Structure 1
Amino acid sequence: MKTKSNILDEKSIGRAITRISHEIVEKNKGVDDIVLVGIKTRGIPFAKRIAKKIQQFEGVEIPVLTLDITLYRDDLTEVDDKPVVESTEFHYDITGKIIVLVDDVLYTGRTARAALDALVDKGRPEKIQLAVLIDRGHRELPIRPDFVGKNVPTSREELVNVSFKEIDDKDEVTITELV
């Protein structure tokens, strides 16, 4: 694989997080009953950064939960014959809450659909919103994000790679070509 372009650096990721954080507060007319749910893996540090940013300007700590959607995927057998699912603690009553589902990249919509299935198994939220750092298009399901860091038109022969310091020791978003 060959890196085609660097589309976001550390500063532009920070600006996107600030903007998304403000948009979440504005759209929901405050922070009452908001819960951020990061989709494993890179949705988790992204959700934590949004929560930290909201706390900076609203003075309120927003709960951040972790969601492992592995068993909810409709392509589970395509991923691995015997997938390993790590247990994640999700002991929080989301009934009546405003859930902001957080992920790094929105592509076909299948991950978001699996996350919706997983959330409904955990409770009945008032509403569910979707925040993504990158929307790359190519939807296979009727799913639309509420909050987007950057829209990046891509081809199916390209990969969008999101790196966060917490996992990858750097903050950047790149596009690589499948050669």
Structure 2
Amino acid sequence: MDKQRIIIGSERFALTIDRLCHQLVEEFDDFSNTCIVGIQPRGVALSERIYRHLVDHLSIQHIDYGKLDITFYRDDFRRPGASMHASVTEMDFLVEKKNVILVDDVLYTGRTVQAALTALNHYGRPDKVELLTLVDRRFNRELPIRSTFTGIKVDAVDEAYVKVEWAHTHGEDRVILFSDKKEAQ
């Protein structure tokens, strides 16, 4: 395999965001009892894009939207050599008896989602939590977690790395598959 391969370019990226938003509208209609929560840090870029698309292009009037930091809920937080930086949690609502759409860019082992579910408990007990990811790396799942709404499924071996790049930070929206994690840095 080449050192890197673009698996979603900017045109398909935009179509994928649009498709995911339409799936959410089909499922949750006017979002009256539904909120969107982006997992800090990488899920926030996707959750903001989803939120803006729902409001600006699909005219959804009111959506509770938050950003959830999971740093201190991770199972590797206290491990030697772990270099983690906490982000700010921005949630001015409770999730009690709501449908929660938890958003992250890439689903890999499932450990990030596990930490997010634990952190989410501080905001109440939701009726339902569903996961939206741009990329589902189907191999190497360590926990029984699956994405309800998925942009693309990628079969990649353990040494490979999937990176989502955003126009506002990298100049172009795209998803890249690297044959080695070191190449992605």
Same fold, judged at TM 0.5 (above) = yes
The residue that corresponds to 1:15 in the other structure is: 15
The residue that corresponds to 2:26 in the other structure is: 26
Contact 1:4 1:174 survives alignment (8 Å): yes
Q: Distance in 2 between matches of 1:45 and 1:79?
A: 29
- The normalised TM-score by structure 2 is 0.87
- The normalised TM-score by structure 1 is 0.90
CA offsets, 1:31-90, max 9 Å, x none?
Answer: 222211111122112111111222222442423211111111111234745743233232
Q: Distance in 1 between matches of 2:13 and 2:80?
A: 29
Q: Distance in 2 between matches of 1:54 and 1:33?
A: 15
SS in 2 for 1:77: coil
Q: Distance in 1 between matches of 2:164 and 2:82?
A: 26
Counterpart selection for 2:143 from 141, 144, 147: 141
Q: Which amino acid aligns with 2:78?
A: T
The residue that corresponds to 1:86 in the other structure is: 87
Report the RMSD for the aligned CA atoms in angstroms: 1.9
Equivalenced residue count is: 178
Question: Which piece of structure 1 moves more, 59-68 or 122-131?
Answer: 59-68
**Is 1:53 the equivalent of 2:53?**
yes
When residues 8 and 81 of structure 1 are mapped into structure 2, their CA distance, relative to the original with a 3 A threshold, is: closer
The residue that corresponds to 1:119 in the other structure is: 120
Q: Distance in 2 between matches of 1:53 and 1:5?
A: 27
Contact 2:41 2:87 survives alignment (8 Å): no
Contact 1:51 1:63 survives alignment (8 Å): no
The residue that corresponds to 2:67 in the other structure is: 66
Per the TM alignment, residue 98 of structure 1 is displaced from its structure 2 partner at its CA by: 1.2
The residue that corresponds to 2:106 in the other structure is: 105
Per the TM alignment, residue 11 of structure 1 is displaced from its structure 2 partner at its CA by: 1.3
Identity of aligned residues (%): 35
Q: Distance in 2 between matches of 1:166 and 1:79?
A: 33
Contact 1:51 1:61 survives alignment (8 Å): no
Per the TM alignment, residue 17 of structure 1 is displaced from its structure 2 partner at its CA by: 0.8
Contact 2:108 2:137 survives alignment (8 Å): yes
The residue that corresponds to 2:179 in the other structure is: 177
Q: Which amino acid aligns with 2:114?
A: R
Q: Which amino acid aligns with 2:147?
A: P
Q: Distance in 2 between matches of 1:114 and 1:166?
A: 27
Q: Which amino acid aligns with 2:164?
A: V
